[in-house]
Amino acid sequence: MPELPEVETIARGLRAVLPGRRFTRVTATWRPMVERSPLDVVQQLPGRRIEEVGRRGKYVVIALVDGAILLVHLKMSGRLYVGAADEPPDPYCRVTFDLDDGGQLRFRDPRKFGRVYLTPDVESVVGNLGPEPLDGGFTETDFLTRLSQRRGWIKSLLLDQTFIAGVGNIYADEALFAARIHPLRRADALGEEQGRRLYAAVRCVLERGIRLNGASLRDGMYRGGSFQTSFCVYSRTGEPCPVCGTAIERARIGQRSAHYCPVCQR
């Protein structure tokens, strides 16, 4: 579920409670979740103190006072939250981080896809990520140049984390709709006008997602939840396009579903 706006929302929430806390114990119920970490999370995290909480792409980045970094990728179904250690156990909690104030940081992930990394060098984990779409360093000129150098489908390119960090299937579909671009257009075939619209649309939908506190995090992920108010095309197959009324179509693009308006998006 979490894409950039959702991860940003989660990181902001953690930032309010984690800085200053020290990890006292780590319990990994599901080993694969911590096995790709450069440093042993269970053995080496306890004793370290939290400096600050941030985000890079879809990673929650927890900087430690000694310079090491703890990164969490939530993948499809992960959630990070803080509670009291004596709260009822969560059957889907895969990694538990005990804190020095009696609190507990819990990594809940029903599908077990999530990963945790402890490393002295952040770049060893996030070094291949593309630019942060909401950073000042991400310029329209740079975006247009890099677009022109890629020949693949624009939808697949938006999902490529080495091209831009943080965009997932929902926001890719929403950005393409806002920019009125068909998901199967080739990146290098987009005109300058369309490239500009896409640049603005990507930032716009992500900012809106953050303003809504991670739109897809809200209550029901499905019908009746935030989809009814937050998204124009995602998961709305068959429903009328909010602009022209044509039924939204769904197609398989690069193993992922794409939702789009066949009339508005060209």
Partner DNA sequence: CTAAAATCCTGGTGGC
Partner DNA sequence: TGCCACCAGGATTTTA
Read off the amino acid at residue 159: L
Please report how many Cα atoms fall inside a 13 Å half-sphere around the Cα of residue 135, on the Cβ side: 14
Q: Of the listed pieces 40-48, 71-79, 95-103, 193-201, which binds DNA according to CB under 7 A? A: 71-79
Cα–Cα dist 18/13, whole Å = 9
**Residue 133 makes contact with DNA by CB under 7 A:** no
**Residue 169 makes contact with DNA by CB under 7 A:** yes
Q: Of 16 and 222, which has the nearer Cβ to DNA?
A: 222
Place of tokens 């985000």: 55
- The binder of DNA chosen from 65, 76, 189, 247 (CB under 7 A): 76
Q: Of 23 and 163, which has the nearer Cβ to DNA?
A: 163
Q: How far is the CB of 10 from DNA (least distance, A)?
A: 12
Q: What is the DSSP string of 125-186?
A: HHTT----TTSTT--HHHHHHHHHT--SBHHHHHH-TTTSSS--HHHHHHHHHHTT--TTSB
Read off the amino acid at residue 251: A
Q: Of 47 and 110, which has the nearer Cβ to DNA?
A: 110
Cα–Cα dist 135/12, whole Å = 17
**Residue 145 makes contact with DNA by CB under 7 A:** no
| Sheet arrangement for strand 23-28 | 23-28, 93-99, 103-108, 79-84
**Residue 149 makes contact with DNA by CB under 7 A:** yes
List b or e across 194-222, with b for residues whose CB sees 16 or more CB atoms inside 10 angstroms: bbebbbebbbebbeebbebbbbbbeeeee
Q: Of 85 and 144, which has the nearer Cβ to DNA?
A: 144
**Residue 236 makes contact with DNA by CB under 7 A:** no
**Residue 128 makes contact with DNA by CB under 7 A:** yes
Number of residues near DNA (by CB under 7 A): 39
- The binder of DNA chosen from 107, 143, 153, 177 (CB under 7 A): 153
Q: Of 95 and 157, which has the nearer Cβ to DNA?
A: 157
Q: Interaction with DNA in 15-34: which residues (CB under 7 A)?
A: 32
**Residue 6 makes contact with DNA by CB under 7 A:** yes
Q: Interaction with DNA in 207-226: which residues (CB under 7 A)?
A: 216-217, 220-223
Cα–Cα dist 181/228, whole Å = 22
Contacts of 190 (CB under 8 A, 6+ apart): 147, 154, 181, 198
Catalytic residue list: 2-3, 58, 256
Q: How far is the CB of 119 from DNA (least distance, A)?
A: 14
- Which residues are near DNA by CB under 7 A? 1-3, 6, 32, 57-58, 73, 75-76, 92, 110-113, 128, 149-153, 156-157, 159, 161, 168-170, 186, 216-217, 220-223, 254-257
